[in-house]
Amino acid sequence: MAKQNTVFKDAFNRCLTQMAETPALPSEPELGQLLGVSRTTVRAILARCEELKLISWDKRRKTVLRRPEPSDYFPSEETSSLAEIIERSFMRRILAGGAEPGMQINELELAREIGTGTTSVREFLIRFSRFGLIEKRPNSHWVLKGFTRDFALELTEVREMFELRSAARFVTLPEDHSAWEELKKIEAVHREILADIDERYREFSELDERFHLLVHKSSSNRFIVDFYDIIAIIFHYHYQWNKANARGRNARALEEHLAYIAALQSRDPKQVEQACRRHLKSARETLLQSIP
């Protein structure tokens, strides 16, 4: 059910984007091919559009009545892929538990919390376990293991190579690419959190993931994106397992992100490289300081 809802909501949002650019929608088969969904899902999308009075739907004729507004779209957190939902839920669980070595993770409980089958959760945990940070135990249980300094250094070295490559690619994206609009939204959230840092500094974790994933996706390299999907939890959240001075660390990281974002928006490769290296160096130091 979770997967089906996610597919529908993601396709619905993309359909709204299509509507913003044309006075009429194509046929159901063409729309299904355009969105990459079944005809059943297409009809569900059209029914919701009609309910919101976005279109007039009379058999084959679908006329756009008004342009979509932000409130018509499903929130981005509801359109994440199932893998992203599982990853985010796993991250929240280990952070809530303090992420101490020896912490138990029950795949049945995690699946129930997400609202999906245990198979998908198990596949994620097996994929994640190849890094040696979690280990399978009997009866659907996993245990969180330690994190060494050597492991952290290897991880940061690869991460820095990939992110510098992705950041350089980001500035070459065309002006009408959706990544620029997403970058503006991310920038706005950074400023909102900084304006209320005492109350909202804990929100940095997910924002950090959202920002760096956007940069990595611009690489258009499946191996870089796949690498990021796996190490996001390890790198972006491990240093938070040490809760000391979390507010100060997160405030500094938010400022560094804003400088990084400004560099990307300048489209100046030298500025981007300098801002990226500065932030990655700081992130590496923070990560290493968190290791006992």
pLDDT higher than 70, residue 233:
no
Q: Which of 69-83, 182-196, 229-243 has the lowest mean pLDDT?
A: 229-243
Q: What is the mean pLDDT of residues 122-151?
A: 78
Same domain for 189 and 126: no
Same domain for 187 and 108: no
Same domain for 122 and 66: no
Q: Which of 142-156, 158-172, 232-246 has the lowest mean pLDDT?
A: 232-246
Give pLDDT, residue 193: 93
Same domain for 131 and 3: no
Task: Name the more confident of 151 and 191.
Answer: 191
Same domain for 265 and 181: yes
Average pLDDT, whole number, for the chain?
Answer: 81
Assign residue 267 the CATH number of its domain.
Answer: 1.20.120.530
Specify the pTM.
0.60
Looking at residue 242, what DSSP letter applies? S
Same domain for 108 and 49: no
State which of 5-9, 61-65, 281-285 shows the largest mean pLDDT. 281-285
Which residue among 144, 161, 184 closes a domain? 144
Task: Report how many domains make up the chain.
Answer: 3
Same domain for 49 and 12: yes
- Ramachandran quadrant class, 221 (left: phi over 0; alpha: psi -120 to 50; beta: rest): beta
pLDDT higher than 70, residue 62:
yes
Which residues span the domain enclosing 51?
A: 1-77
3-state helix, strand, coil in the chain (%, to 5): 70, 5, 25
Same domain for 62 and 107: no
Q: How many CB atoms lie within 10 A of CB 84?
A: 16
Ordered alpha helix ranges (H), the chain? 2-19, 28-35, 39-51, 82-96, 107-114, 118-129, 149-170, 178-195, 197-200, 204-217, 222-238, 246-266, 269-289
Percent of the chain exceeding pLDDT 70 equals 81
Give pLDDT, residue 202: 80
Which residue among 77, 107, 132 closes a domain? 77
Residues 155-188: tens digit of each pLDDT = 888 889 999 999 999 999 999 999 999 999 999 9
Same domain for 274 and 171: yes
Task: Name the more confident of 54 and 260.
Answer: 260
Same domain for 130 and 162: no
Same domain for 269 and 208: yes
Assign residue 42 the CATH number of its domain.
Answer: 1.10.10.10
Same domain for 215 and 278: yes
Which residue among 24, 54, 77 closes a domain? 77
